[in-house]
Structure 1
Amino acid sequence: MFQIVRLCPETGSWIMFESPLVYILSVSLQVGLLLNGFILKFYISQTQQQASRSLMVYLQNLTAADFLLCLCLPLRIIHYASNSAILHILHCSIGATSLYLNMYTSILFMGYIAVNRYLTIIHPSGTHILQTVRTAHIVSTVTWVFLLAPTIAYNIMFFITHKPFTSDRCYCGPLFSTSFSILHKAFQISCTIIFLLVFICLVFFYYSISRRVLQAHTSRRVLQAQQRQNMLVLVSIFCVCFVPHHLFRVLFVFLLNTCSVDPVLYYLKEAATMVSVFNICLDPLVYFFLCKTFRAQVRKASRRTNIQQANTESQSTEEKLSIRASSQRQD
């Protein structure tokens, strides 16, 4: 008979593992809030100007998803640092689904951004129906509803069917009933399919754009090379943040009830989840490379900061010289 391995024993090794997770997630939360808050502030101040481009609609929704993920991270951080049964149940329901909701919202909007850039290069002389602002708003709304509906249903089913809390506070599996475990695996399969579809599209779009750059005339090659660079940034962030998470997550879910599961796999899965959360700090790079107005705003803010620092240093130097001159007169 196979035995379910106890994945999260209350040992010193788990404590040593969770401590850096709390620290890294806390730093990611602060950096993510700062960057995405700055982008949201920029968006609010540029509403009318940005409303004329479908790409901006997708970028704004990507930023909104990242900002909402920032608001959900404190529950995960507190869960790592606490032994509370209530927090564990909330983490396995609301906390986990909030993470997935915002993660797959980000994944889908990255896919929409890639489609938009692909069509811009393939059909540079016209506007495709998928590039209109109205279509972008409709697609964005449908995406949020499409992901919110199963998320709410998942949480309702969890609270109705979950088992009593056990001493194993790290893993959510012991809380799942038999019927809910089937739903959980179906949920994981659906999420993995979404990831794979977007991943394949991103690779195809980058390959197609690269070919178009090589075939383009010299007059257009520079512009299209810049578009390829932007697509490379998007694909790189996607691969770094989401590929490790899905690799270890799939292994963890489908090897759960076999003797081949090792605690190390759980640690790798949690570490990969932490890396996926780091996309809240990397996604602003997408906004920076794809939005000229935002780049100009960042550079303006940077110049303003440098001028203020120079003025402060100059004022400080003048004060020091004044104090030194006064001291010399007294002598």
Structure 2
Amino acid sequence: MSPNCSSVDCLLEKYYLSTLYSLEFIFGILGNGIVLIGYVFCMKKWTSGSIYLFNLCLSDFTFLCTLPLLIESYANGRWIFSEHLCYSNRYLLHANLYTSILFLTFISIDRYLLIKFPFKDHIMQKKLMAVTISVGIWIVVMLEISPILFFIELGNNSQCLSYGSSGMASSSLIYSVCLSVTGFIIPLCTMCLFYMKMVSFLRNRNQQLPSSFSIEKPLTLVSVAVIMFFILFTPYHIMRNLRIASRIDGWKLSDKTMITINSIYVITRPLAFLNSVINPVFYFLMGDNFREMLLARFRKMLQVIKCQCVYKFGLSNEESRDYSTDS
């Protein structure tokens, strides 16, 4: 983006992206920081679900640490850091996107197995299996998005261009479509399948045990997860592919159409990464007593602080009385 660029898409990058990414950084770091500390220092019994959630938090936290560079870049209209930082920044940004999608997918599978087999561990719920799957997700995603490094480039005005706006459009579109299918559409279909199976199972269970089994909370979690997944990720993948396609020479689109497509693409980008801010909600709603564990530790800390204050205050009163007696 040129510093004196006045088109809509340039203005959106300068003001919209810098503002949205700043808000995501502030609230995301706060939420994921609390969750990360909770898992590292408070979690006593790790389960398959907590392993997936911890990796999801780790992915979000890594991505959020890259945002200050993007915020500075969009706010000032130029990339002042090294070319290697541009590549690594874009790489980590997409690594977070697709690891988040896969971890959310396996969390949905884990929730289904937990509800269907409440009194025994399925092989997919073994901790060793969860660790193996988590490591596998990181390796697969890192390899899957590695071609992005060949398409990311610095613009004419020292800009760290987004993936949709850089590289040779024809070959980039082929890769982008394949990445959308393997990294987004297939996990989305898998998530929807297991959540539908979960809904069906819970409804059948509720008919069998109407007085002792409530499906309200599990179904609410199902609905929120699927809606968030669809609303946040779908527009980005559609517009990214459309943005790349619009740059192919054969299309010969007008400048106004190009600006419109790029503007919508810019709008969808921070929405796709808004999941890093929303995900901490799932730790409190789905995280194997995570909320109770964290609140218990918080109450214990308050109790310790209270006792220390009472001790110091009581000691000060005793010293005051001793001083008065001596006088």
Task: State the TM-score bracket (shorter-chain normalisation).
Answer: 0.7 to 0.9
Task: After TM superposition, list the pairs within 5 Å mapping 1:222-261 onto structure 2.
Answer: 222-257=213-248, 258-260=251-253, 261=257
Q: CA 1:266–1:226 in 2, change beyond 3 Å: closer, same or farther? A: same
CA distance in 2, matches of 1:292, 1:121: 12
CA distance in 2, matches of 1:289, 1:232: 13
Q: CA 1:7–1:201 in 2, change beyond 3 Å: closer, same or farther? A: farther
CA distance in 2, matches of 1:125, 1:296: 21
Structure 1 residues without counterparts, runs of 5 or longer: 1-5, 308-331
* Cα shift at 1:165: 4.2
Task: After TM superposition, list the pairs within 5 Å mapping 1:2-151 onto structure 2.
Answer: 10-11=5-6, 13-14=8-9, 16-17=11-12, 18-47=14-43, 49-51=44-46, 53-84=47-78, 87=81, 89=83, 93-151=87-145
* Cα shift at 1:115: 0.6
Residue of structure 1 aligned with 2:284, choices 285, 288, 292: 288
Residue 259 of structure 1 aligns to a residue whose secondary structure is: coil
Q: Deviations over 1:153-189 (max 9, x none)?
A: 643x458xx6x742494755786358xx625641552
Q: CA 1:93–1:250 in 2, change beyond 3 Å: closer, same or farther? A: same
Task: After TM superposition, list the pairs within 5 Å mapping 1:210-229 onto structure 2.
Answer: 210-216=199-205, 217-218=208-209, 222-229=213-220
Q: CA 1:88–1:279 in 2, change beyond 3 Å: closer, same or farther? A: farther
Check if 1:166 corresponds to 2:162. Answer: no
Given that 1:213 and 1:225 are in contact with CA atoms closer than 8 Å, whether structure 2 keeps it comes out as no
Given that 2:18 and 2:75 are in contact with CA atoms closer than 8 Å, whether structure 1 keeps it comes out as yes
Residue of structure 2 aligned with 1:277, choices 226, 251, 273: 273
Given that 2:284 and 2:290 are in contact with CA atoms closer than 8 Å, whether structure 1 keeps it comes out as yes
Q: CA 1:99–1:192 in 2, change beyond 3 Å: closer, same or farther? A: farther
Q: Deviations over 1:79-132 (max 9, x none)?
A: 212343555956763222211101100000000000111122333443221111
Greater shift in the superposed pair: 220-229 or 56-65: 220-229
* Cα shift at 1:239: 1.9
* Cα shift at 1:56: 0.5
* Cα shift at 1:77: 1.1
Given that 1:22 and 1:81 are in contact with CA atoms closer than 8 Å, whether structure 2 keeps it comes out as yes
Given that 1:214 and 1:221 are in contact with CA atoms closer than 8 Å, whether structure 2 keeps it comes out as no
With normalisation by structure 1, the TM-score equals 0.77
Given that 1:7 and 1:262 are in contact with CA atoms closer than 8 Å, whether structure 2 keeps it comes out as no
CA distance in 2, matches of 1:106, 1:223: 29
Given that 2:51 and 2:130 are in contact with CA atoms closer than 8 Å, whether structure 1 keeps it comes out as yes
Given that 1:69 and 1:102 are in contact with CA atoms closer than 8 Å, whether structure 2 keeps it comes out as yes
Greater shift in the superposed pair: 145-154 or 194-203: 145-154
CA distance in 1, matches of 2:88, 2:273: 16
Given that 1:210 and 1:228 are in contact with CA atoms closer than 8 Å, whether structure 2 keeps it comes out as yes
Aligned length: 296
CA distance in 1, matches of 2:104, 2:165: 34
CA distance in 2, matches of 1:183, 1:265: 17
Structure 2 residues without counterparts, runs of 5 or longer: 304-327
Where does residue 318 of structure 2 map in the other structure? none
Given that 2:95 and 2:141 are in contact with CA atoms closer than 8 Å, whether structure 1 keeps it comes out as yes
* Cα shift at 1:38: 0.2
CA distance in 2, matches of 1:300, 1:240: 34
Using the aligned pairs only, state the percent identity: 22
* Cα shift at 1:240: 2.7
